Structure 1
Amino acid sequence: MNGEKLRVIIQCSIFAAITGIFAQIEIPLPLVPISGQTLAVGLTATILGSRYGAFAMIGYALLGAVGVPVFAGFSGGAQVLVGPTGGYIFGFSAAAFITGLILEKTKFNLTMAMVANTAGMVVTLLIGTIQLKYVADLSWTQAMAAGVYPFIVVGLIKAFLASWIGITVRKRLIQARLIHNRADAAA
């Protein structure tokens, strides 16, 4: 394994671990808690981009699936993934990919990061709410009330924080040559 591959594996692992730590910051709600996971997803995608951001979230989901207590409330296991909140966890990989892709196709700046992180939030909420509806046997109105509406304002706040912190950290990591600016590599 060459040094670059090892660096990417370490970076993805670090962000999977950060997501597990942020998952423990939560406000309990009846069906789906508000947690720091989505902030970590946005940070991951803003810093690492589409592919590596998605890989980090896949790693996070796999860690939890095998029982490591990285999901909200120090939970883990496949039962979480097939439960009412599992769709949100599945949505993290798609959200990270889409968030990173938007930034890679436009520009890594605060405005575009906010657009990208908001799109990522919508993707997570969409995938999560679909699974919540079917697993919890809810109507669409009930699923939206439990799985979307409580998260819009806090989601926008987390999208802003992920954008602001993510762009700042990304610039520092590029300056330190710890990550590559793929936009520069393409030019």
Structure 2
Amino acid sequence: MHQQSRRLRIILNCAIFAALTAILAQVEIPLPLIPISGQTLAVGITATILGSRQGALAMICYALLGACGLPVFAGFTQGIQVLAGPTGGYIFGFILAAYITGWVLEKTKFNLAYAVLANTIGMLITLICGTIQIKYLLAFDWTTAFLTGALPFIVVGMIKALLASWIGIIVRRRLIQAKLILANKQSAA
């Protein structure tokens, strides 16, 4: 029964954080090609709280929900065409970013300093994945792809990395205290 309870907890955590990502995706500042949205904030919060595997699984669930037609992407969009479009690289990047962010924290400590480092790395991974898809999809050279797909988002991304770190560490500690997530040996502040 304990193993079933643990699996159910993992499924519920992933569903909750996929839903959080869908909600924060609707908080956006429109820009000509790629809007600034709350999705990346949700990715950082998710990875900081859940760690690598569950964080990546939550982002896979999020991407699959959108691919299946639920309007979970920024601007209430959905479908395979979003994943194949200019913003799709960022969404695929969320999966890798969540995994790497969580992995860095698992290999170091779940504290604010390491969370900022991990979330900064995760933000850069997301921007790199988005820029690569923009470069090839729109047949841009690397400079144009960087100027379009990464540069406008670096400052905002750093702010989101700081917020995700701060929120994620606080919420993680409280969820551990409430026994809603399991702490690992690296969870000490």
TM-score scaled by structure 2?
Answer: 0.96
- Residue 185 of structure 2 aligns to a residue whose secondary structure is helix
Q: Distance in 2 between matches of 1:48 and 1:87?
A: 23
Aligned to 2:44: 42
The counterpart of 1:116, out of the listed 115, 118, 125, is 118
Aligned to 1:16: 18
Structure 1 residue 127 displacement after superposition: 0.8
The counterpart of 1:91, out of the listed 90, 93, 100, is 93
Q: Is the 8 A contact 2:107 2:186 kept in 1?
A: no
Q: Deviations over 1:72-125 (max 9, x none)?
A: 000000000011110000000000000000000000000000000000001101
Q: Distance in 1 between matches of 2:185 and 2:148?
A: 39
TM-score scaled by structure 1?
Answer: 0.97
Amino acid at match of 2:64: L
Aligned to 2:142: 140
Structure 1 residue 182 displacement after superposition: 1.7
Structure 1 residue 184 displacement after superposition: 6.2
- Unaligned runs of 5+ residues in structure 2 are none
- Residue 180 of structure 1 aligns to a residue whose secondary structure is coil
TM superposition outliers: structure 1 runs of 4+ over 6 Å: none
Structure 1 residue 137 displacement after superposition: 1.7
Q: Deviations over 1:124-177 (max 9, x none)?
A: 011110001111121211111111111110000000000000000000000000
- Residue 22 of structure 2 aligns to a residue whose secondary structure is helix
- Unaligned runs of 5+ residues in structure 1 are none
Identity among equivalent positions (%) equals 67
